[in-house]
Amino acid sequence: MEKPLVFITRRLALAPHAVLGTGIEVDQHDEDTLLPRDELLRRVRQATALLPVPGDRVDKEVLEAAPRLRIVANHAVGYDNVDVPACTARAVWVTNTPGVLTDATADLAWALILALARRLREGEAMIRSGAFRGWAPTMLLGRDLRGRTLGILGYGRIGRAVARRAEGFGMRVLFSSRGGGVALEELLEQSDVLSIHCPLNANTRHLIGGAELLRMKRGALLINTARGPIVDEAALVAALRKGHLGGAGLDVFEEEPAVHPGLLSRDDVVLLPHLGSATVETRESMARIALEQVERVLRGERPSTPVNEVSAR
């Protein structure tokens, strides 16, 4: 009998066969670069399992190119890159990697908050350029966080972890989510710092657009470690240019990996290359969970982190 084949679209933080059984063949794009679309379609043809990353679009075209596919084990918590209904219609499991990246992403959100509040980007640039001439009472004055309001948009695992960290900084916390909290309008009006942690879907795409940004407090900070298209980047650039916002810290982008050119030269913007889960421990755990889902499905078992439900094949 032919062995099942898993196609892995990117280099992982651990070796696949450290998790997978010996009866599973592996085809891996062993690079950190995005796989070209035509190569993805070619290499998925014989795959029984696909392990993609958020930059890989798994849609009907991919599914039609992979008639043997039984599982898409997404290497992420979010799965907006996967057409879940199309997978369900073809009895293809979709899984994700929940839970393990909560603290790493919450820590990074706070790194962005602090970098903006204390103007760390500008300070480091001053040192590296040789412009630092000694301490001065008015040099690069930032802002205190104590007593300010942190607004959290999306109150799942990561949003709650960000809120817990706010206690140590003496901040007041408000949140808005499908499950409760305040209305979005109130969140925008009250927040000195707005941190985004909701999933990307049809309802949240461009949820933060021009009107919402102008509704925020003048001088407020915007943090996005969720998904780029939740924020209208052109509107964000416009709000920054008007001086309405105090700054933005972004780990994700609307057309990732591309970044709106209006963001690149601004001192009041901190940009990171999607590092939310980028710790050794977290990325190893994510890879392990995704690979475990592959092995379970290929053994005929139900995955432990399913996004959808499918009928037995």
Active-site positions? 227, 256, 274
Give yes or no for a contact between 69 and 94, defined as CB atoms under 8 angstroms apart.
no
Let me know: does 205 contact 229? Beta carbons within 8 Å. Answer: yes
Residues recorded for the chain? 313
Half-sphere exposure of 273 (CA within 13 A, CB side): 4
**Distance (Å, whole) CA 130 – CA 147:** 35
Give 93's strand partners: 71
Q: Give the Cα separation of 236 and 246 in Å (integer).
A: 11
Structure tokens of 206?
A: 């461009």
Contact criterion met (CB below 8 Å) for 152 and 175: yes
Cα–Cα distance between 104 and 130 in angstroms, integer? 33
- Residue owning tokens 């290929």: 298
With a CB cutoff of 8 Å and minimum separation 6, the contacts of 165 are 106, 107, 110
Tell me how far apart the alpha carbons of residues 52 and 87 are, in angstroms, rounded to a whole number.
14
